[in-house]
Amino acid sequence: MTTLLTVENVTKRFGGLSALEAVSLTVNSGEVYGLIGPNGAGKTTLFNCMTGLYTVSAGVIRLDGVPIQNRKPHQIVNRGFARTFQNIRLFANMTALENVMVGRHARTRTGVLGAVLHSRRCLAEERDSRERSQAQMAFVGLKDRGRGLAGHLAYGDQRRLEIARALATEPKLLALDEPVAGMNPNERREMSELFLKLRDAGITLLLIEHDVKLVMDVCDRVAVLDYGKKIAEGVPDEVRRDPAVIEAYLGGAVA
Amino acid sequence: MPNVPEWLRRHPRLAFGLLAVLLAVLPFIVGAGLGRGWVRVLDFALLYAMLALGLNIVVGYAGLLDLGYIAFYALGAYLFAWLSSPQFGLHLPFWLVLPSGALLAGGFGVLLGAPTLRLRGDYLAIVTLGFGEIVRIFMNNLDAPVNITNGPQGINLIDPISIGGVSLGVRHTILGVHVFPPTFYYYLFLFFTLFTILVAMRLQDSRIGRAWAAIREDEVAAAAMGIDTRSVKLLAFAMGASFGGLAGGLFAAFQGFISPESFNLMESVMILCMIVLGGMGNIPGVILGAVLLTVLPEALRYLGAWQRATLGHVVVDPNDLRMLLFGLAMVAMMLFRPAGLLPSRQRKREFRAEDGVAGQEAASLYDAQA
């Protein structure tokens, strides 16, 4: 198994507050890697550091061995690392299909001249974008839903659309920030099926999640963050029994 | 469009043909019916349509509020004047000067865009407004120590455009009919307006147009989807500015005279109003806005003569009345058609956001309180 992503001693400070302190972890190619921890543990902060939305204060993040920390978000997407957001960030007033086609931006080349002259290459690329986007939508279970507005989709479908849009960038590594938040058990089961389907399609998944059952079912390995520090890492069963993890979740005084 | 009759809808080619014929004979109808002065008004309507379409790329597509757009118009006009008038004794042909003007303006668009990339909304508006004023003040003051712009007097005797040795700036007799310069310029401007429409339309429907729309909707998400927000925004500035520069060159040649006065803040605001009134982001809407706001003020001039004829003297100066009606029209529009006269589908949705879940919740909240 090869290493896809390594995070080495990443620290993120906001003024005096350390949101992340020397966090290290490695994600292997082809696995589903879970990132869990209590609210405010720094999970989303780590995501933002990895995907270029935040600069790191110290440390190195490598994708395929190449440092990607402090790069621009679009450069990281170009390298094959896409993400979704905890609070869904679709382009609500564009159609669902247009949303996914925006994801194709990184993998298409048409410039002003091609677009204005409707060059053969541009038209072919546009058709290709459309077909691939429709395929991505079908993959996540939104077949033939492209014409409606993204903002009018049901909540669960918006989550799926966000995944389709990220898939359109052709990622090797897909980071999902609480993809089943606010879903009922039925929807959660369907989503975890989608995660496994994604893994089987060769995409490595990085998952922030609170639902312990889902994490145990889906993830190959898990890291636990608490107060900006990694307190445990390993296979789910191991991590579940780790005293430090139990303390973080239930509180030291109680345990 | 909503009010197109059914039979035209079913025959788009016929509709297109009729429109083409109408546009082709329009200056003759207008000239014969309303007088030659009105052909000039038509010319200006086309110029403003070009300007509004250019600004629409920046404001309507990419969502960057630019209040200094007229500066690009000024740059195009001044470049034309420098390269094609006695000011420096240069008389380069228009097919060289017009693209140079567009290029210069586009370059300045990037120059303005680069430092303002991090700004949004009001802050961007303030900076661009300042940029517009700086350019105008430069033009006003660059007559010393070296006389470049001829200061507030402006540059005179700018060469008219001549195609194949035939100057558009003088009267010609074709088949026994006198055809005047404004009519020639009408066709020239029509050509460039159609060109602008084509470019704007194709850009909107392309990968680039989608990237602009994405940035307008959510810049962070757009960046996270692989869009280089920096270069895409700069591209919007550059594209919009080049159309401004192109229109500026045409204006200089048409007018034969330019001075800094023509490029004040009110002009920038006016072009923005055309977009807002017509329907931001929607090409037919923007053109409608430009035509209305160019033609209406001219039509209102008749009110002065009418007052003199019926009341014996002018009670309300038509110029004041113009601004009053203009203000009222804007207020009415904000109340009844906030997305513009012919809004784009997407904008309509943005303005009707309250119809969504949040709106229903708010409405039910009012019910509960009542």
B196 domain residue, yes or no: yes
Q: Return the pLDDT at B177.
A: 80
Q: What are phi and psi of A225, to 5 degrees?
A: -105, 145
Asked if pLDDT for residue B369 goes beyond 60, the answer is no
Residue length, chain A?
Answer: 255
Among B184, B181, B159, B198, residue whose Cα is nearest residue B50: B198
Say yes or no: B213 and B356 in one domain.
no
Q: What are phi and psi of A36, to 5 degrees?
A: -125, 170
Secondary structure (DSSP) of B297-338? HHHHTHHHHHHHHHHSS-SS-HHHHHHHHHHHHHHHHHHH-T
Say yes or no: B243 and B360 in one domain.
no
Using an 8 Å Cβ cutoff, are B342 and B333 in contact? no
Say yes or no: B75 and B151 in one domain.
yes
Say yes or no: B240 and B363 in one domain.
no
Contact A166 B235 (CB under 8 A): no
CA distances from B290 to B56, B156, B212, B274, B284 (A): 11, 27, 23, 5, 10
pLDDT > 70 fraction of chain A, expressed in percent and rounded: 98
* Encoded amino acid at A228, one letter: G
CATH of the domain at B78: 1.10.3470
The tens digit of pLDDT for each residue in A59-98 reads 999 999 999 999 999 999 999 999 999 999 999 999 999 9
Beta bridge partners of B77: none
Tell me the domains of chain A and their CATH numbers: 1-80+171-255 (3.40.50.300), 93-164 (no CATH)
- The separation between CA B144 and the C-alpha centre of its own chain, rounded to angstroms, equals 32
**Nearest C-alpha in B relative to A123:** B206
B18 domain residue, yes or no: no
CB contacts under 8 A, A 8-67 vs B, are 51-53
B23 domain residue, yes or no: no
Contact A74 B217 (CB under 8 A): no
pTM comes to 0.90
Query: Domain boundary residue among B221, B248, B278?
Result: B278
**Nearest C-alpha in A relative to B348:** A93
* Encoded amino acid at B247, one letter: A
Among B161, B183, B186, residue whose Cα is nearest residue B174: B183
The tens digit of pLDDT for each residue in A108-146 reads 988 899 999 999 999 999 999 999 999 999 999 999 888
pLDDT > 90 fraction of chain A, expressed in percent and rounded: 80
Query: Domain boundary residue among B230, B263, B278?
Result: B278
The tens digit of pLDDT for each residue in B204-260 reads 999 999 999 999 999 999 999 999 999 999 999 999 999 999 999 999 999 999 999
Q: What would the mean pLDDT of A243-250 be, rounded to a whole number?
A: 84
Which of B103, B202, B203, B207 is best to mutate for the A interface (most A CBs within 10 A)?
B207
Q: Using a CB-CB distance cutoff of 8 angstroms, which residues of chain A are in contact with residue B359?
A: none
Q: Using a CB-CB distance cutoff of 8 angstroms, which residues of chain A are in contact with residue B209?
A: 115
* Domains identified in chain B, total number: 2
Say yes or no: B140 and B242 in one domain.
yes
Q: Which of A137-141, A250-254, B39-43, B254-258 is least confident?
A: A250-254
B159 domain residue, yes or no: yes
Min Cα distance B195 → chain A (Å) is 10
The tens digit of pLDDT for each residue in A166-201 reads 999 999 999 999 999 889 999 999 999 999 999 999
Interface of B with A (CB under 8 A): 198-199, 202-203, 206-211, 213-214, 217-218, 220-230, 235, 239, 346, 349-350, 356
Q: Kindly state whether A100 is in contact with chain B, defined as any CB-CB distance less than 8 angstroms.
A: no
B303 domain residue, yes or no: no
Min Cα distance B174 → chain A (Å) is 35
The tens digit of pLDDT for each residue in B67-120 reads 999 999 999 999 999 999 999 999 999 999 999 999 999 999 999 999 988 887
Q: What would the mean pLDDT of B125-149 be, rounded to a whole number?
A: 92
Structural domain harbouring B174: 35-278
Q: Whole-angstrom Cα distance, residue B182 to residue B15? A: 27
Under DSSP, is residue B256 helix (H, G, I), strand (E, B) or coil?
coil
Stronger pLDDT, A252 or A162, i.e. the higher one:
A162
Q: Using a CB-CB distance cutoff of 8 angstroms, which residues of chain B are in contact with residue A97?
A: none
Query: Domain boundary residue among B248, B278, B308?
Result: B278
CB contacts under 8 A, A 127-146 vs B, are 129
Say yes or no: B253 and B129 in one domain.
yes
Which of A79, A81, A112, A159 is best to mutate for the B interface (most B CBs within 10 A)?
A112
**Nearest C-alpha in B relative to A86:** B221
Supply the angle between the helices B302-311 and B318-336 in degrees, to the nearest 10: 120
Say yes or no: B136 and B249 in one domain.
yes
Say yes or no: B130 and B251 in one domain.
yes
